[in-house]
Amino acid sequence: MTARTFTGARVVDPASGTDKVANVTVEGGVVTEVGGAVHGERVDADGLVLAPGLVDLHTHLREPGRDDAETVASGTAAAAAGGFTAVCAMANTDPVCDHAGVVEQVLRLARDAGHADVFPVGAVTKGLAGDDLAEIGAMAAVGVRCFSDDGHPVRSARVMRRALAYARTWDAVIANHAEEASLTEDAQLNEGEVAGLLGLAGWPREAEEVMVARDLILAAGLGARLHVPHVSTRGTVDLVRAAKARGVRVTAEVTPHHLSLTDEAATGYDPVFKVNPPLRTADDVAAVRAGLADGTIDAVATDHAPHAPEQKEQEWGQAPCGMLGLETALAVTLTDLVDTGTVGLARALDALSTAPARSRDLAGHGGPIVAGAPATLVLFDPAATWTVDPAASRSRSRNTPFAGRRLRGRVVHTLLRGRFTFRDGQVV
């Protein structure tokens, strides 16, 4: 590969604490110079922000099993278009990713597509059934370092405790979908005024908080690593904050939709707003924003959950939970968090890249942008505004809750080890 210099970009690299305008030269898959002259091809990056490629801790790629909704290729194309260079693929596929064969299959599909690095998440229990542990050792042997039954909680405290203890052998992370199922039978929407008005069965916040409290106690007792996915309530933020203060090895994520939307969005019964955990209240949004700002919540993670239109566009009670996220995460974060003064640009990019990479030990992602480091980068126009059009999505599905919203911040280029995966608005 010949040298290429991105000129005049604002380099925002949370990993090295850099925020300055500089030329960045890339050659042979690595950054060779920051702040030097132009070498080889010149790529004008005046007015753009150059940051470490984004890292998503929570992506549903649906393959194997539901390639009508998404494939590894289409999901990672959406990732590249959204500025992501790495995604952690959830295990609730068909067959379930509960043994090394599915891990290898997903890795192979990802390599063939070449749009982003995929880190498969293994199931905690066989078939996500909550009873017997999945083949955690065999999956760890092929590189898996995070296990989750996401979409389903590990109901049994005994099974969860064994999983945490076992995962500790590899210093792996358990990300438990925090939902006490006995409190969410038939639940449809956050328990409260809006659900009452709409006549939808309430989904109490305690269902999440009871499970998070249990898991924090179990992880603390074992010194094991716990990750709390899709934090949605004020109470969960408080629990994680207190646990971190006690030294519990816990990390947490929040989705763009829980940072941005409330249960009021469901007023028209449009199932595009149906998600697990449900959209909550303005008070919860304020709490998760504050938790992201003070570092209680480490990462913004998309929970990109594609569903084919004939599934998702049923009436509310029948429709599956989930929303697209990869192509809008950066712009929603810039528009609803940076523009509102909740977090600065550096913390926003930390939450979308450096912090999630660190929380999963994903070497080669999340920066730093220094000579010798992989050229795994995103360049975006922080001033560009655009309107979300579901039809333009690279995903196979269309279920974005942000359709028609005007957002600020548009990805221009994404590079994975020096190679464009997205260039001038096109997936490469």
Q: Report, as residue numbers or ranges, the catalytic residues.
A: 303
**How far is residue 352's CA from residue 58's CA, in Å, rounded to a whole number?**
12
Provide, rounded to whole angstroms, the least separation between the CB of residue 227 and ligand DOR. Answer: 13
Per-residue binding letters, 249-278, with ligand DOR (x by CB under 6 A): --------------------------xx--
Per CB under 6 A, 181 contacts ligand DOR: no
Q: Which listed residue (117, 149, 150, 253) binds ligand DOR by CB under 6 A?
A: 150
**How far is residue 144's CA from residue 44's CA, in Å, rounded to a whole number?**
39
Hey, what are 224's tokens? 């094991």
Hey, what are 234's tokens? 């004020």
Provide, rounded to whole angstroms, the least separation between the CB of residue 219 and ligand DOR. Answer: 20
Per-residue binding letters, 78-107, with ligand DOR (x by CB under 6 A): --------------x---------------
Closest CB to ligand DOR among residues 10, 155:
155
Closest CB to ligand DOR among residues 167, 305:
305
Which residue reads 């660190």 in tokens? 358
Which residue reads 């505004």 in tokens? 385
Per CB under 6 A, 348 contacts ligand DOR: no
**How far is residue 301's CA from residue 120's CA, in Å, rounded to a whole number?**
15
Q: Which listed residue (99, 155, 177, 234) binds ligand DOR by CB under 6 A?
A: 177
Closest CB to ligand DOR among residues 96, 159:
96
Please answer whether residues 156 and 176 qualify as being in contact, where contact means their C-beta atoms are separated by less than 8 angstroms. no
Instruction: Show contacts with ligand DOR in window 157-176 (CB under 6 A).
Output: none
CB contact burial 258-292 (16+ within 10 A = b; e otherwise): bbbbbbebbeeeebbbbbbbbbbbeebbebbbbbb
Provide, rounded to whole angstroms, the least separation between the CB of residue 321 and ligand DOR. Answer: 3
Closest CB to ligand DOR among residues 265, 275:
275
**How far is residue 85's CA from residue 76's CA, in Å, rounded to a whole number?**
9
Q: Which listed residue (82, 151, 325, 401) binds ligand DOR by CB under 6 A?
A: 151
Closest CB to ligand DOR among residues 176, 335:
176
Instruction: Show contacts with ligand DOR in window 297-326 (CB under 6 A).
Output: 303, 305, 320-322
Provide, rounded to whole angstroms, the least separation between the CB of residue 294 and ligand DOR. Answer: 25
Measure Cα distances from 305 to 71, 148, 230, 238, 322 in Å: 12, 15, 12, 27, 5
Closest CB to ligand DOR among residues 150, 253:
150
DSSP secondary structure, 105-168, as one string: HHHHHHHHH-SSEEEEPBPSBGGG-SSSB--HHHHHHTT--EE--TTS----HHHHHHHHHHHG
Provide, rounded to whole angstroms, the least separation between the CB of residue 229 and ligand DOR. Answer: 7
Per CB under 6 A, 60 contacts ligand DOR: yes
Residue nearest to ligand DOR (CB): 322
Provide, rounded to whole angstroms, the least separation between the CB of residue 204 and ligand DOR. Answer: 17
**How far is residue 59's CA from residue 70's CA, in Å, rounded to a whole number?**
11
What is the rounded end-to-end Cα distance, in angstroms, of the chain? 16
- Give the interface with ligand DOR as residue ranges (CB under 6 A): 60, 92, 150-151, 177, 275-276, 303, 305, 320-322
